[in-house]
Amino acid sequence: MMQGRFLRWVMAAAAMVPVAALAQAGDPKPWQLNMGRGVTATSQNAYDAHMLVFWICAAIGLVVFLAMGYAIFAFRKSRGAVAAKWSHHTGLEVLWTVIPVILLVVMAWPATTKLIAMYDTRDSAMTIKVTGYQWMWKYDYLGEDVSITSRLDRESDRIRQSGARPDAAANPYYLLDVDNELVVPVDTKIRFVITADDVIHSWWVPALGWKQDAVPGIVNEHWTEISEPGVYRGQCAELCGKDHGFMPIVVRAVPVAEYEQWLAAEKARSAPVAAQAAPAPAAPAAG
């Protein structure tokens, strides 16, 4: 009877919930609702922690609203229901304290382990120094003598200066493309040291799963290990001046062999410049 109907309600509502949370990978898509799964252990850990909490919240919401709906419907005044008069129930009070505590521990335990792993930059295979400038990024491959400056690509810049309305079909990466991409190897633990030269910026590539402030005079660090080759885009995430919206980030993750080739080519390209920049030897004194 009444109970059978209640059970059918519960089952119908439960069937509707999974539609809300579908896993998504890589870069954000237009109208994406959930956070992305990303391409690093850090981003996937964050995604898993988020989904665990999401489902716990969804279950609590479901139980509370169903109980409330049932109470409103079944014990309505028109049916002659009279409110119970009690002010204290030890058993219930213990229950509604203990259950949330257990739930908090269940959520905090994995979240803390993941957070600790997220900040552990030890045993990195390489280090890249990221410096934020108004309004571009500089990447130094430490120990390799390779430096690149990465700024908004010419086409995006031309469109924005022209005042024309950008066309998403013709320029899908409008304001999300750069002249020089940050090339990194996959399956390699890369440490990033992040700072700025003028004002506070923030280096953020959603698919990597973290965002780090770039503060003048301070060196922050983070790490990443990308599992899938691909191009991952991001932006400066700190209001850093009038062109804050025009300093995108493009990370190109390639297989290790391809990265080695790229690095060798970059070294060869920058070597003559370095030689020119070196001070000329002092002329021998005339005797």
Positions touching Cu ion (CB under 5 A) are: 201, 236, 240
Tell me how far, at minimum, the Cβ of 242 lies from Cu ion, in Å: 11
Cα-to-chain-centroid distance, residue 154: 26
Tell me how far, at minimum, the Cβ of 166 lies from Cu ion, in Å: 21
Beta carbon nearer to Cu ion, 41 or 196: 196
Beta carbon nearer to Cu ion, 207 or 236: 236
Contact 138, 130 (CB under 8 A): yes
Beta carbon nearer to Cu ion, 217 or 279: 217
- Which amino acid, one-letter code, is at 50? H
Tell me how far, at minimum, the Cβ of 132 lies from Cu ion, in Å: 5
Tell me how far, at minimum, the Cβ of 240 lies from Cu ion, in Å: 3
Beta carbon nearer to Cu ion, 244 or 252: 244
Tell me how far, at minimum, the Cβ of 266 lies from Cu ion, in Å: 24
Beta carbon nearer to Cu ion, 201 or 222: 201
Distance between CA atoms of 109 and 52, rounded to whole angstroms?
12
Which runs of E-coded beta strand occur in the chain?
A: 126-133, 136-141, 146-150, 182-185, 190-196, 201-205, 210-214, 220-224, 230-236, 249-254
101: phi then psi, degrees, rounded to nearest 5? -65, -45
The SS3 call for residue 109 is helix
